[in-house]
Amino acid sequence: MEIILIVILAIVAYLVGSMPSSVWIGKAYHGLDVRDFGSGNAGATNTFRVLGTSTGIVVLFLDIVKGVTATSLIHYIPTVEHGTEQFINLQLLFGLLSVVGHIFPVYENFKGGKGIATLFGMLIGIHYLLALACVGLFILVLLLTKYVSLSSILAAIAFPILTIFVFKRDEPLLITFGIVAAILVVLTHKKNISRLLTGEESKANLFKARQ
């Protein structure tokens, strides 16, 4: 019975992650599909670039909520004790499925974003202090540089470092996840890194609404 419940919740986690807030909000309030502009991604970075600060903030918040919601599904399995290795492993499973859903949304022909905001939401659900430290770094770099991509990359790299050396977490799967996630974030931002190095990366209009 527990296995069936886990499978059902795993599917729910993916479906929650698949909700493309940038696409739906862009079409509903701006008459635009953000995937047709900028980088072509349906994520917060491209939303800031294409639709402006206010819409970007809303999309960023909603994408974070998706990750938090997915990891919170663990509470619907009463037989799994809080704080155990199984508890954390299932949180990672549900959270990762929400990130996969964001990248490959079933509602929009599997063409989504890069999953950074949803990944942060997942981390908040698993270890909120660790996640807040990463988000704090993200915000600091964003305010200083206005590059959402650079902020995402540095925050992702900081995650496994903070996990091991600052918060002293020793769960092997959590540490492995952090390292793999950081590598994947860097790989999915290869084009952004190239543009950053050549000075061609677009900056987010943090204090300018879309005209």
Q: Concatenated DSSP letters for 110-148?
A: T-----HHHHHHHHHHH-HHHHHHHHHHHHHHHHHH--H
Q: Are 118 and 17 in contact (CB under 8 A)?
A: yes
pLDDT of res. 145: 93
Give the position of tokens 């704080």: 83
pLDDT of res. 1: 62
- Round to whole Å and give the CA distance between 61 and 22: 11
pLDDT of res. 52: 87
DSSP 83: T
Q: Are 141 and 155 in contact (CB under 8 A)?
A: yes
Q: Are 52 and 14 in contact (CB under 8 A)?
A: no
Q: What string of pLDDT tens digits covers the 211 residues of the chain?
A: 689 999 999 999 999 999 999 999 999 999 989 999 887 888 887 888 888 888 989 999 999 999 999 999 999 998 898 878 889 899 999 999 999 999 999 998 888 888 888 988 998 998 889 988 998 998 899 999 989 889 989 999 999 999 999 998 888 888 998 998 899 889 888 888 999 999 998 887 665 555 4
* Phi/psi of residue 209, nearest 5 degrees: -75, 155
pLDDT of res. 211: 46
The structural domains of the chain, with segments of one domain joined by +, span 2-198
pLDDT of res. 10: 97
pLDDT of res. 92: 92
Distance of CA 211 to the CA centre of its chain: 27
- Measured over the CA atoms of residue 66, residue 186, residue 58 and residue 121, the dihedral's sign is positive
